[in-house]
């Protein structure tokens, strides 16, 4: 049953069992740095509003992947609807949860675009961190009402007065507006719910206008296809309507629409301001793009919602099966994984050292780790991951305007025809204690960083801004940053485009043969040091054979470093006792010829961990 009075936009929706107006809807998200209690606070909000029963309760309820629970991070965004009553009026809350990590910042930006308000959660013990500020700026760009929440005030190490001052300085609000809470004990949850009603504006929209709905997420259901999560800005959608996804231009039937409660609740109609799901029977996740606009085929809208862009991979790596016979099995696993994670990009490639595999694009190093872990856990695939690298633009002298995209070091044109290479740069924001400013600056300058700003947030906390090459942070940067700051630094970054750079390809030769999987594109100044470190590392990792194995690093035809894995020697002269020296010499000469022949036809076995050795060159 659906009753609509359009003059007041008063709606009765089957399933809610209650009349409510658009002014009774609140759409909000929670933004915070990693481990500041975002998922736990979401649990308390669900408990307080009765959205979950005692039987359904569990910690990190919205994080439904084992990896999310183990690592304590949100990998996929989630949305859930709650009901709340205040002063005799009933309200509908749509919580659109967001991932916290920088690798998933595009998903965060689309989730924020679907809201009118945001809970800014700050840890009372750790204070403001880099991603707190990054996500706050995203929210402010979308004109969201910010409700500051000081979480974990019950901890013995909490410093609520000082951290409240930090929040006041950051937001320009009054200290009274900062809600003190503890997601663990439930302290302050009622105050947060009241603040959502009082301070978050109701959605604005025209029910009579053509349908405009923003896609902020999608998940794959193996039985029903892709489930699209959307927020309606204008218009209305009915079950059975024919809809169009504007970015792809494809039309589908709305087989099912509904609200996103803990279990999906089907509806016959949804109106402007609502957040819900749509099932159209789409089987390929790449057909549903986050940030796209849904409209009706019968009455399409003139303009799409601003802000849509294709998700671009930032880091590339090769993934190969350990057993080459499992190549087709790996392909099937990657295709299934892509249905759940549309931001994963892969294409077949082959390597002389590793056989057939895939060249994969990821949003960042955490994304790479998550994909590798999911392949091993969910699909029981044992894989080798090659050295990660980023995407460069190369320009040849013959056609200076033609861009050659280099995702693999082997794609780099010959230096004789190369005009220049451009590499991606990022704007890095690091917040640390003032004691460690020198250490952090030293690390960033070593990584070819250029300092652009230094701001003292408080006498003890400093915000540093650097322009850094993306290639320098994909290896060990984050681990080393934590080491030099004794764990006190937080890191966030955003891409700022490409800049010309002097890059060369360093090849690794084993026994005179190039191993393409160990090649790397590096800056000219770092090439000799890197080549030396790779050779030294491989010398320790490659087992000894019956013959000497030369390990060489080369730029083009020029060898820049060499190490040798010495042969396992057999004492062929042991049986010669006494007699003339020529008897021993004859046996040694025969052994030398055998070793020379063995070296020409012998194969060098490379252990699996050698392919990731470059990542830990500073260990």
Q: Are 437 and 462 in contact (CB under 8 A)?
A: yes
With a cut of 60, say whether residue 602 has pLDDT above it: no
Q: Which range has highest mean pLDDT (6-10, 178-182, 389-393)? A: 178-182
Lowest mean pLDDT among 5-19, 23-37, 451-465: 5-19
Mean pLDDT, range 23-44, rounded to an integer = 82
Q: 16 pLDDT band (50/70/90 cuts)?
A: very low
Tell me the three-class secondary structure of 367-402, residue by residue: HHHHHHHHHHHHCCCCEEECCCEECEEEEECCCCCC
Per-residue pLDDT, 148: 92
C-alpha to C-alpha distance for 167 and 36, rounded to whole angstroms: 14
How many CB atoms are located within 10 Å of the residue 398 CB? 9
Q: 611 pLDDT band (50/70/90 cuts)?
A: low
Per-residue pLDDT, 63: 47
Nearest to 294 by CA among 264, 253, 344, 341: 253
Per-residue pLDDT, 603: 62
Per-residue pLDDT, 529: 85
- Those residues whose C-beta lies under 8 Å from the C-beta of residue 111, and which sit 6 or more positions away, are 29, 77, 96, 97, 98, 216, 217
- Those residues whose C-beta lies under 8 Å from the C-beta of residue 168, and which sit 6 or more positions away, are 174, 175, 178
With a cut of 70, say whether residue 15 has pLDDT above it: no
Per-residue pLDDT, 9: 43
Compute CA distances 32 → 42, 73, 130, 146, whole Å.
Answer: 12, 11, 10, 12
- Is residue 570 helix, strand or coil? coil
With a cut of 80, say whether residue 130 has pLDDT above it: no
Q: Are 425 and 466 in contact (CB under 8 A)?
A: no
By the 10 Å C-beta count (0-12 exposed, 13-18 middle, 19+ buried), 582 is classed as: exposed
- Is residue 313 helix, strand or coil? coil
**Token pair recorded at residue 257:** 């629409």
Where do runs of H (alpha helix) occur along 257-363?
327-340
Per-residue pLDDT, 279: 92
Q: Are 507 and 415 in contact (CB under 8 A)?
A: no
Lowest mean pLDDT among 265-274, 436-445, 481-490, 498-507: 481-490
Hunting for tokens 């709340």 — which residue is that? Answer: 84
Selected residue with higher pLDDT from 234 and 343:
234
Compute CA distances 580 → 586, 587, 597, whole Å.
Answer: 11, 12, 27
Per-residue pLDDT, 11: 43
Q: Are 192 and 198 in contact (CB under 8 A)?
A: no
With a cut of 90, say whether residue 467 has pLDDT above it: yes
Q: Which range has highest mean pLDDT (1-15, 41-55, 100-114, 168-182)? A: 168-182
Per-residue pLDDT, 46: 83
Q: Please state the φ and ψ torsions of residue 303, each to the nearest 5 degrees.
A: -130, 145
Lowest mean pLDDT among 55-69, 296-310, 317-331: 55-69
Selected residue with higher pLDDT from 221 and 497:
497
Q: Which range has highest mean pLDDT (27-31, 367-371, 486-490, 573-577)? A: 27-31
What percent of the chain is predicted at pLDDT more than 90?
11
Nearest to 236 by CA among 280, 276, 279: 276
Element holding 478 (H helix, E strand): helix 477-484
Q: Are 231 and 27 in contact (CB under 8 A)?
A: yes
Per-residue pLDDT, 278: 92
Per-residue pLDDT, 40: 82
């Amino acid at each position: 049953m659906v009753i609509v009075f359009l003059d007041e936009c008063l709606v009765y929706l089957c399933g809610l069992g209650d009349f409510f107006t658009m002014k009774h809807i609140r759409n909000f998200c929670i933004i915070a740095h990693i481990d500041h209690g975002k998922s736990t606070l979401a649990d308390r909000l669900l408990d307080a509003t009765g959205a979950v029963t005692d039987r359904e309760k569990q910690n990190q309820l919205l994080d439904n992947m084992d990896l999310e629970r183990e690592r304590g991070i949100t990998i996929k965004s989630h949305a859930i609807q709650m009901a709340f009553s205040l002063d005799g009026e009933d309200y509908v809350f749509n919580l659109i949860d967001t991932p916290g990590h920088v690798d998933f910042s595009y998903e965060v930006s689309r989730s924020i675009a679907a809201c009118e308000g945001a809970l800014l959660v700050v840890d009372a013990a750790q204070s403001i961190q880099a991603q707190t500020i990054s996500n706050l700026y995203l929210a402010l760009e979308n004109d969201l009402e910010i409700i500051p929440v000081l979480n974990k005030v019950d901890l013995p190490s909490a410093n609520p007065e000082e951290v409240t001052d930090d929040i006041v300085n950051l937001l320009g609000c009054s200290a009274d507006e900062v809600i003190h809470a503890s997601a663990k004990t439930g302290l302050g949850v009622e105050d947060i719910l009241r603040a959502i009603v009082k301070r978050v504006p109701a959605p604005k929209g025209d029910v009579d206008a053509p349908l405009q709905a923003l896609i902020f997420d999608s998940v794959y259901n193996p039985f029903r296809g892709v489930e699209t999560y959307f927020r309606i800005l204008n218009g209305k959608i009915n079950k059975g309507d024919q809809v169009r996804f504007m970015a792809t231009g494809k039309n589908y039937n709305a087989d099912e629409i509904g609200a996103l409660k803990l279990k999906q609740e089907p509806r016959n109609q949804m109106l402007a301001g609502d957040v819900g799901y749509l099932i159209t029977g789409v089987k390929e996740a790449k057909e549903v793009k986050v940030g796209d606009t849904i409209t009706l085929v019968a009455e399409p809208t003139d303009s799409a919602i601003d802000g849509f862009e294709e998700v671009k991979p930032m880091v590339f790596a090769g993934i190969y099966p350990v057993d080459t016979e499992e190549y087709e099995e790996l392909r099937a696993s990657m295709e299934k994984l892509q249905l759940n994670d549309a931001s994963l990009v892969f294409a077949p490639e082959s390597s002389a050292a590793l056989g057939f595999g895939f060249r994969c694009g990821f949003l960042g190093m955490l994304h790479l780790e998550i994909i590798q872990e999911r392949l091993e856990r969910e699909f029981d695939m044992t894989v080798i991951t090659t050295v990660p690298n980023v995407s460069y633009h190369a320009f040849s002298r013959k056609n200076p305007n033609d861009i050659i995209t280099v995702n693999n070091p082997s794609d780099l044109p010959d230096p004789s025809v190369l005009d220049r290479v451009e590499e991606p740069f990022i704007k890095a924001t690091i917040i640390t204690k003032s004691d460690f400013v020198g250490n952090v600056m030293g690390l960033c300058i070593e990584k070819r960083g250029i300092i652009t700003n230094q701001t003292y947030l408080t006498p003890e906390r400093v915000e540093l801004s650097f322009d850094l090459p993306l290639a320098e942070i994909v290896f060990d940067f984050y681990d080393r940053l934590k080491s030099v700051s004794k764990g006190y630094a937080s890191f966030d970054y955003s891409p700022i485009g490409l800049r010309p750079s002097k890059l060369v390809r360093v090849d690794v030769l084993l026994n005179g043969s190039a191993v393409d999987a160990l090649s790397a594109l590096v800056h000219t100044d770092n090439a000799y040091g890197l080549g030396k470190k790779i050779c030294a590392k491989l010398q320790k990792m490659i087992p000894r054979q019956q013959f000497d194995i030369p390990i060489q690093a080369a730029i083009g035809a020029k060898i820049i470093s060499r190490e040798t894995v010495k042969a396992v020697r057999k004492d062929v002269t042991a049986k010669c006792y006494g007699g003339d020296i020529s008897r021993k010499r004859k046996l040694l000469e025969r052994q030398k010829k055998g070793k020379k022949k063995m070296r020409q036809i012998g194969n060098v076995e490379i252990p699996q961990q050698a392919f990731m050795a470059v990542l830990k060159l500073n260990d």
